[in-house]
Structure 1
Amino acid sequence: MTDYKLEAAKAAALMISAGQTIGLGGGKTIAYLVEQLAAQPALQASLTVTSSSFDTTALLHEKGFKLVAPAFVGRLDIYFDGCDVFDANLNALKSGGGIHVMEKLLASAADKFVLLGDESKAQPKLDTKYPMVVELLPQALEIVKQAITARYPQTRFVQRMSTGKIGALISDNGNLLADVYFEAFPDLEQLDIQVKMLPGVVGHSLFFQMAQQAVIAGEEGVKYIYPAVNHQVNG
C-alpha cells in the first residue's frame, strides 16, 4: 500500500535547493522529509535548518544537520509543515501538536510556506471536528474562556489536561492550551483577528492566508495546490 505522506515528502525534497535556510514543522510527513534530505549528503551539508518541533529537532540532530535555534532565524527560504485540514484558500488548522505559536512564527519568517500531507488534508471548507487551539497565559484562563464563549456562543471551550501527570497540559512556552470547537466556523478573517487580539491570548492554531502552496499525495499522484483566491502571504 502506497504511503502518501512519504510521496508528499519526496515531492517536497525536490523543492529544496543547495545553500538554503529551511524550516520544518512536526509530524510524520516532516520526518519523512528529513530522511529524504539526509539521503542526499551534499545537499544536506549545504543546508541550514531550524524547526518548531522538539521531535523534528531531535531527528535533525541525530542525522547531523546544521541546526540553528529559531531565536536566531530572521528569514527562511522555505518552511514546510503539516496540518489537520486546509480549505480551498489554504487556510489551515494545525491543532494536534499544540505547537502552533512556534509554527506560525517560522511560517511568517519564510519566503514560502508549504503545507504537506496526504490528500485527506484538502477539503473545500475547514472541518469542524478539528478545534481552533488557543494558547493563553495561565492567569487569563477564565477571562479568555468567557470572552470567547460570549462572542461565539455555539462553541465548546475545553482546556487541555495532561495525560502524563495530574493537572493542565503546559505548552512548550509554559502556557495553557484550550480547544475551541465550533458548530460552524464564522468568517475566518474576523475569527483570526478577534481571537488573537484578546488580552491573554498568545496565539491560535488557525493559519489564515499564510500558506502559499500545498503539496499532497493520493491515488492520483502528487498535486501542487495554490489558493483559490489570491492573497498577500505573510503580510
Structure 2
Amino acid sequence: MADYKKEAAKAALGFIRQGHTIGLGAGSTVVHLADLIKQNRDLAETVTFVSSSFKTNNYLVENKLKVQSALLINKLDCYFDGCDQFDSQLNALKSGGGIHTAEKILAAMAKDFVLMGDEGKFVPKLNAAYPLVIEILPLALQMILNRLATEFPGAEVKFRMSNQKDGALISENGNFLADIHFAELPDLQDLNIRVKMIPGIVEHSLFYKMATKAIIAGENGVRIIEAPVR
C-alpha cells in the first residue's frame, strides 16, 4: 500500500529552494519531509529550519540539520504542517497536538503556509468531527467557562488532562488546554472572531484563511490546491 503521507512530503519538497528558511510543524508527514531534505545534500547544507514542535525540533537536531529559534527570525519562506481536517477554502482544524499557538505564529511568518496530508484529511466543508482546542490563561479560567456557556450553548468543554501526572495538561506556554465539542460547527468567520474576543483565550485551533496551498495525496495521485483569492 502506498504511503500517501510520504507522497505528500515528496510534493512539498518541490517548494523548497537552497537557502530557504522553512518552518515545520508536527506529525509523520513533517518527519518524511525532514528526511527527504536530509537526503538532498544541497538542501540539507543550506536550508534553515524553525519548528513549532518540541518533538520535531529534537528530530531535526538529532539529524544534524540546521535549526534556528523562532525568537530570532521574523519571516519564513514556507511553513509546512499537517492537520486533522481542511476544506476547499483551505481552512483547517489542527486539534491533535495542542501546539496551535506556536503553529499559528510560524504560519503567520511564512510567505507560503502549505498544508500536507492524505486525502482523508480533505472535506468540502469543515465539520464537528474534531473539537476546537483553546489555550487558556489560568487566571481567566472561570470567566472563560462562563463566557463559553453563554456564547455557545450546547457546546461541551473538556479539559485536557495529563496521563503522566495528576492534573491538567499544561501547554508549553504554561497555560491550560481545553477542547470545545460542537454538535454542529458554527460559521467559521463568526467562530474565529467570537472565540478570539474572549479575554484570556490565547489562541484556538481553527486556522481560518491562513493556508496558501494544500497538498493532498491519495489513490488518484497528488493534488495541489491553491487558496482562493482573499
The answer to whether TM tops 0.5 is yes
Q: Percent identity?
A: 50
Q: What pairs with 1:53-202 in structure 2 (closer than 5 Å)? A: 53-202=53-202
When normalised by structure 2's length, the TM-score is 0.98
Other-structure match for 1:20 = 20
2:184 match: secondary structure: coil
What residue is the counterpart of 1:6 in the other structure?
Answer: 6
- Describe the superposition over 1:91-134 as per-residue Cα deviations: whole angstroms up to 9, x where unpaired: 10001000000000000000000000101111011131200000
| Alpha-carbon separation, structure 1, partners of 2:104 and 2:35 | 23
Q: Once the 2 structures are TM-superposed, how far is the Cα of residue 65 of structure 1 from its aligned partner?
A: 1.2
Q: Give the distance between the partners of 2:165 and 2:225, measured in 1 at CA.
A: 41
Counterpart of 2:157, as a letter, is F
Question: Residue 230 in 1 paired to residue 219 in 2?
Answer: no
Calculate the aligned-residue CA RMSD, in Å: 0.8
Secondary structure of 1:166's partner? coil
Q: Distance in 1 between matches of 2:170 and 2:13?
A: 33
Tell me the alpha carbon deviations over residues 155-181 of structure 1, each in whole angstroms, 9 at most, x when there is no partner. Answer: 111111111111000001110000001
AA matched with 1:230: V
- Residue 42 (structure 2) pairs with residue 37 (structure 1): no
Alignment-derived partner of residue 208 in structure 2: 208
- Provide structure 2 residue ranges, at least 5 long, that are not aligned to the other structure: none
Q: Distance in 2 between matches of 1:188 and 1:168?
A: 28
How much has 1:183 moved relative to structure 2?
1.1
Displacement of 1:230 in angstroms is 2.2
Distance (whole Å) between structure 2 residues aligned to residue 127 and residue 55 of structure 1: 28
Q: Secondary structure at the match of 2:203?
A: strand
The DSSP-based 3-state class of the residue aligned with 1:66 is coil
Shift in Å, 1:193:
1.1
The answer for unaligned runs of 5 or more in structure 1 is: none
Q: Residues of 1 paired with 2:129 and 2:166: CA distance?
A: 26
The code of the aligned residue for 2:89 comes to N
* Whole-angstrom distance in 2 between the partners of 1:66 and 1:96: 27
Q: Secondary structure at the match of 1:111?
A: strand
User: In the alignment, residue 211 of structure 2 is paired with which amino acid?
Assistant: A
* Matched residue type, 2:102: M
Distance 1:165 1:117 in 2: 32
**When the two structures are superposed, what TM-score results if normalisation uses the length of structure 1?**
0.96
Aligned partner of 1:23: which letter?
G
- Aligned residue identity for 2:103: E
